[in-house]
Amino acid sequence: MQLQHRARQLPIDDQRRIAFFANSLNVFSNQLIGMPHYNVRFTPEEFKTATAMKFGLPITALQPFVGDRIRNNANCPQLTLDEHGYNLSTIGGSCGGHVQHLHNSICATISNSATQAGIKCLGGATDTSAKRVFSSAIPANIPINATNTAKVNSIVPDIVINATHSTGAELAGSQYIVDVKTLAAGLAYKRNNITFADAVARRATQVNTDYHNTAKQLDQRLHGTPVGTPGPFEQVLSEYGGPNNTVLGPVVGFFGEASEHMHQIRDLIATTQAKSHLELYRSTNAQAIGLHKQQLNRLWGHTFARGWVRLILDRLRDLVRPEPRDYHRRQGAPNPDQNEEFLYYHPNVKGGAFGGI
């Protein structure tokens, strides 16, 4: 309570306040300052950056370049680098696929954990089988244009989880469409709101609403379905999501926090893993579920944090930092000719740990 009181006294736009109300009660974000996970290894620079991001502190790696323009498409808003990396997370029209890498790492983590627990699922980072979910609703003679293509692509799920044979968890007994989202440090966080994890919660709710609205629009646009009458897309959607036809929108925010749907998916996997655990070890069901929840919390929490860190550091390298040959001209920037630590963690610079190969 004392920390919460102190956070409220900070200015509304203070990054420490924003980070506190975003992630301080989130079990995934709080894994960072604790036991590391052997499958998610941070470099020293990555861990230092992750810690700064969690607590809303300036990022050391960005300091020499604060105020520099972030390179992106000239038709998009032009931004400069800030000390917290927020503009790096929101910049549009940039090259490099950094957001896609982050998104794919989250999808792969969820699908791999579910598969290892014995839960059938489609999709993930490289599996495209989830794209077939709405194939039966797409007419063979669909007019090919940018609008139709964009609408159809917007309803393609990242993952489909089949929990029809699972028991004991909130999601058990149904199959679910899962659409993973990432939330950059934009306007969603810059509100006078003291509700914990409010930004990711609101974004997750929007995912379900958007899916159902898109299904209705596609039925009307491609099939001429009258308003108020379920068409082929809505009929497919009605086969998923349990009694409320809920599309799961697990959201991972900039501060490493995740929405309630991510917790529900974790609970489903942990409950399934506990059944196998009890066949081999003597413990209560609650103890087995708690054990596997904690293991998933660590793995997922570290994965989310490292994913955002790599997006920031990769965009610093690709969109802000000058070419390696120009480093010695920048006052306050690392000198690749003299700094051995810099060379080790930046092997693409000539003379680095791997000779730039």
Q: Which two tokens stand for residue 230?
A: 């379920």
Overall size of the chain counted in residues: 357
pLDDT at 345: 47
The residue assigned the tokens 């077939």 is 132
Task: Characterize 148-187 residue by residue with b for buried, 16 or more Cβ atoms within 10 angstroms of its Cβ, and e for exposed.
Answer: eeebbeebbbbbbbebeebeebebbebbbbbbbbbbbbee
pLDDT at 265: 98
Q: Which two tokens stand for residue 181?
A: 């989202």
Q: Which residues pair with 122 in a beta bridge?
A: 160
Judged on CB neighbours under 10 Å (0-12, 13-18, 19+), 33 is exposed
Backbone angles phi, psi at 257, to 5 degrees: -85, 160
Q: How many CB atoms sit inside 10 A of residue 5's CB?
A: 8
Sheet containing 120-123: give its strands across. Answer: 120-123, 159-162, 175-178
Contact present, 25 and 201 (Cβ < 8 Å): no
3-class SS at 213? helix
Cα 111 from chain centre: 14
End-to-end CA distance of the chain: 52
Mean pLDDT by 10 residues, the chain (357 residues): 85 90 95 91 96 96 96 94 96 93 95 94 78 85 70 86 94 96 91 85 95 92 90 94 94 97 98 92 93 97 97 96 58 46 48 38
Contact present, 161 and 178 (Cβ < 8 Å): yes
Q: Which residues pair with 182 in a beta bridge?
A: 252
Output the pTM of the full model: 0.86
Backbone angles phi, psi at 183, to 5 degrees: -120, 110
Contact present, 81 and 70 (Cβ < 8 Å): yes
pLDDT at 107: 95
Contact present, 70 and 319 (Cβ < 8 Å): yes
Contact present, 54 and 306 (Cβ < 8 Å): no
pLDDT at 291: 96
Domain boundaries, the chain: 2-320
